[in-house]
Chains A and B, each alone.
Chain A
């Protein structure tokens, strides 16, 4: 029982990071129908940026974190402006190829700047695990979970209640109608990239604190695919629920089945669940169905 709960808790932590990265992915897809293959590289850059600020520039962690988020906002704006904006109106396949190119470019940039060996954050959270009931949970896990939940709540409120959040959802629904309200679609796209870069950076920093970072963090971009497809590509709550679900499933599967299969179950489990769910619900768990009234 204790092992089970331990797996669930670590699954929640992993899941919260998935949820965050998936949120950015969904946002870009929702507002501009672009599948962003560079989402994982945004995670990577966020992680390295914070690491560089803390380790090389000796800036306190919290401040580094905040600077990283601000940097991410501008990175998102810059990517949108330099690479995506000129592609508006081009075939969607070209735009997808562009994000693949972008991912290779950003990954290369990270290798040039920071090399390939694994680096770790300085110890920020104390090593002593906290006991909650009979479950022992390490502090870095606990804080990761708390932080990502805070961010997820902030973004949910942002989409629900702010003008720009509503404008972003309106644009996702009907771009021309949004234009007729005087909503600037360009601004909406730019915001989507900025938010995507911010959530990716948060995810990257949390991952970095848990496991250390190297270039393989970028693969996280591919690992959120089952999450977003499970949640429904265009659903923000779907990304969040999907993230937690996949995180827990992966952990349970690898915790219980790895001994029998000699490892590697984690990578497969998510896809197995994905296929089963898509057979039952083709739009994903929360995918927006086309509303059709006659």
Chain B
């Protein structure tokens, strides 16, 4: 179980980006983290995976625990070895490596090298397309294929928890559905916990059991996915089901009332 307890994140010693974020991901659960651009979603994932340190960011307050152990001071490498794997925004496949070499890179921290081959087949069973492309240089794959590779590469590390940052970015609706179905299967069949960050709130809430909504570095609302999907404000701001283009801040409008409604 992953627990973020009231964390504060500061970039370059001055820019305060997360202002007390708390969330949880129980083992084997899927949870969604939603919010507008710049809300701090990616920052939250990087705080968990330890990649924040590479960008001169720091968790200055609160704590992050994974299975009871503090991880907010650990290096990215140690955190991967503990079983948390971040699939970064924008896929970030190794462009000049082949599909298979990308998968091997994902398995880098594994001790049980003899099982790597078998797990590669497991990845191919989720993404048969990747098997056909396995000797192809990853940079020339289509966006959808690259996203499959990014997720497959994460699976190769055999993580307990996967952090997915906008897997639907730039994909056609049909492909989004396919990828989300596979994410759900991976969660069920491999028992991997998932924390998913999405702009496509509907897609994320459809597979998640619970969701958090973030604005301006704070969680402003959270609740079971079904409830969130029915909430009129969530509908308006994140699911785009009512008038579009009204630029009110979610927080400004009856902020406290909503907090009360959802946090109690």
A positions within 8 Å CB-CB of B: 163, 166-167, 169-170, 172-174, 176-184, 288, 291, 293
Contacts and interface: CB of A to CB of B under 8 A. Distances in A.
A178 B106 CA distance: 9
Contacts of A178: 94, 105
Given A163-B104, A180-B51, A169 B94 contact: yes
Contacts of A184: 77
B81 A182 contact: yes
Interface of B: 49, 51, 54, 76-77, 79-81, 85-86, 88, 92-97, 101-102, 104-106, 108-109, 113, 137, 139-140, 142-143, 153, 157
B108 A163 contact: yes
Contacts of B153: 181
Contacts of B97: 166, 169-170, 173
A292 to B, nearest CB: 9
A179 B54 contact: yes
A118 B79 CA distance: 54
Nearest to B80: A182
A173 B104 contact: no
B51 to A, nearest CB: 6
A176 B96 contact: no
Given A181-B80, A182-B109, 7 more contacts: A163-B104, A170-B102, A176-B54, A177-B92, A291-B137, A291-B139, A293-B142
B51 A179 contact: yes
A178 B77 CA distance: 10
A288 B94 CA distance: 13
B108 A180 contact: no
Contacts of B86: 180
Contacts, number: 79
B148 to A, nearest CB: 15
A237 to B, nearest CB: 12
B76 A288 contact: no
B96 A173 contact: yes
B140 A291 contact: yes
Main secondary structure of the interface of B (DSSP, over half): helix
A166 B99 CA distance: 12
B49 A177 contact: no
A182 B108 contact: yes
B209 to A, nearest CB: 25
A178 B88 CA distance: 11
Contacts of B105: 166-167, 170, 178, 181, 183
B54 A181 contact: no
Contacts of B106: 181
B43 to A, nearest CB: 14
A183 B94 CA distance: 13
A170 B101 CA distance: 9
Q: What are the 8 tightest A-B residue pairs by CB atom distance, in nearest-first order?
A: A182-B80, A291-B139, A182-B109, A177-B92, A173-B94, A170-B105, A170-B94, A182-B77
Contacts of A172: 96
A102 to B, nearest CB: 26
Nearest to A175: B54
Nearest to B92: A177
B104 A183 contact: no
B108 A183 contact: yes
B92 A182 contact: no
Contacts of B92: 174, 176-177, 180
A166 B104 contact: yes
A177 B94 contact: yes
B88 A176 contact: yes
Contact of B88 (A169, A180, A183): A180
A182 B139 contact: no
30 contacts: A163-B113, A166-B105, A169-B94, A169-B96, A170-B97, A173-B96, A173-B97, A174-B92, A174-B95, A176-B88, A178-B94, A178-B105, A179-B54, A179-B76, A180-B88, A180-B92, A181-B105, A181-B106, A181-B108, A181-B109, A182-B77, A182-B79, A182-B81, A183-B77, A291-B95, A291-B96, A291-B139, A291-B140, A293-B140, A293-B143
